[in-house]
Amino acid sequence: MQGRTIVGLIAGLFVASPLAAQAASSTPADSAGFVVMKNADTVAIERFERTDVTWKGTLALASKKDVADSWSIVTAPDGTVPLIEVMESQKPPDPRMKARVISRARIIVKGDSVSVDQMTPNGLVTRLFQSEEGVVPYLNLSFGMLEVGLRQAQVAAQKDSLGLKVYFFNLGGGQTVRGTLVQNSDGKAVLNIGEVQFDLLIAPDGRLLSAAIPAQGLRVERIR
């Protein structure tokens, strides 16, 4: 798994799992998006929707014209994220044509291990990664996916002296990195993932309202 080559499942690539079937039967409960800005420039735009058990989103980066990452996450009541599917595709020049799939993958989390089924030019390749119990996915600049991770971390409620403990699995490289969330009563929170600090504003119901990454000069706003 090198760079941002992990991407997800499209219909017909894999046999549908019971988790995916359960997610597909749910009714959408919320939909929103995020815009990521640096000064006056738009860096990324993301749209997502969620049900009780699944989240689906599409992330488009300004630096990658006509390319988008589509993702789907199945969540469990115990705070775990057992299934993630991601696909990177390119918009066709003609709207009557289908998008070109650049790469795709399915990620299955079980206990402290992560299995990645990835389509390559040579066929399907499966990789296993040692991780941590309760790990959640992380995709660079996907604040919809970050909200999923934060919500699941609140459910799992693994705390220590540093704060709420969250382990993130980097979909762009396969590393597992510890995150620590410290939240105040006014909704303001600080999340540290490795050496990167995120300043967050979280609503009482768990929605991520805004964010900033000071070291990178990025600010994020939730949009409808």
Q: Which of 4-13, 19-28, 47-56, 183-192 has the lowest mean pLDDT?
A: 4-13
pLDDT of residue 81: 94
Q: Would residue 53 count as lying in a domain?
A: yes
Per-residue pLDDT, averaged over 2-17, amounts to 33
Q: What percent of the chain has pLDDT over 90?
A: 64
Task: Record the pTM.
Answer: 0.82
Report the chain's mean pLDDT, rounded to a whole number. 86
Domain count within the chain: 1
Tokens of residue 25, six digits: 């039967």
Question: Is residue 98 included in any domain, yes or no?
Answer: yes
Domain that holds residue 163: 18-223
Please check the confidence at residue 220 and state whether its pLDDT lies above 90. Answer: yes
Among the residues of the chain, which ranges form H helices?
Answer: 18-24, 143-156
Mean pLDDT of 7-11: 30
Per-residue pLDDT at 5 exceeds 90: no
Alpha-carbon span 48 to 37, nearest angstrom: 18
Any domain includes 105: yes
Is the residue at 38 inside a domain?
Answer: yes
Rounded-to-integer distance, Cα 101 and Cα 70, Å: 11
